[in-house]
Amino acid sequence: MTMTSRVQHGFAAIAAIFLVVILAALGGFMITFSNTQQLSSAQDLQGSRAYWAARAGLGFGVAKVISDSTACQSGTPTAMTGAPASVEGFTLTVTCRRASYIDGVNTILVYRFESRASAGSSGNANYVERSVSASVEM
């Protein structure tokens, strides 16, 4: 009795195709992950720029009140006149409110500032907004 062996062909091709598919899926995942990291980094940078634009508005408000005490009124927060409408592409809003307190014979004025910088439109992925506030006593 003679035994004939069956020769199997094609297994290496199937393994190679499987390996190429796995590597392509891994490459696609890496590209998606890289794009997500890039977007996150860009949004973080925009947030930092918005913060510093808001700080610039706050500095404007404090300097304006120091040079002209009538620039800020009592009552509800009001937008400060003369404030720049935008800083480095960010829309800027600076508000101020003055309150007075009696301490013995002295009248103490407290100014409350809020500066808000924003870019983009609300609800979009590229929207960024930062707000800073400060109180100054005179």
pLDDT digits (tens, 9 = 90+) for 55-105: 999 999 889 888 887 888 887 788 877 778 878 889 999 999 999 888 888
How many Cα neighbours within 13 Å face the side chain of 56?
17
Q: Which of 121, 61, 54, 64 is nearest to 88 (CA)?
A: 54
Check residue 26 and give its pLDDT. 93
Check residue 25 and give its pLDDT. 92
Taking the C-alpha atoms of residue 3 and residue 15, their distance in angstroms, rounded to an integer, is 29
User: What values do phi and psi take at 99, rounded to 5?
Assistant: -135, 145
This model's pTM is above 0.85: no
Which tokens is 109 given?
């004025």
Which tokens is 124 given?
């979009």
Which tokens is 5 given?
């062996």
Give the tens place of pLDDT for each residue, 3-44: 666 666 677 888 889 999 999 999 999 998 888 888 888 888
Residue 115 pairs with which residues in a beta bridge? 94, 132
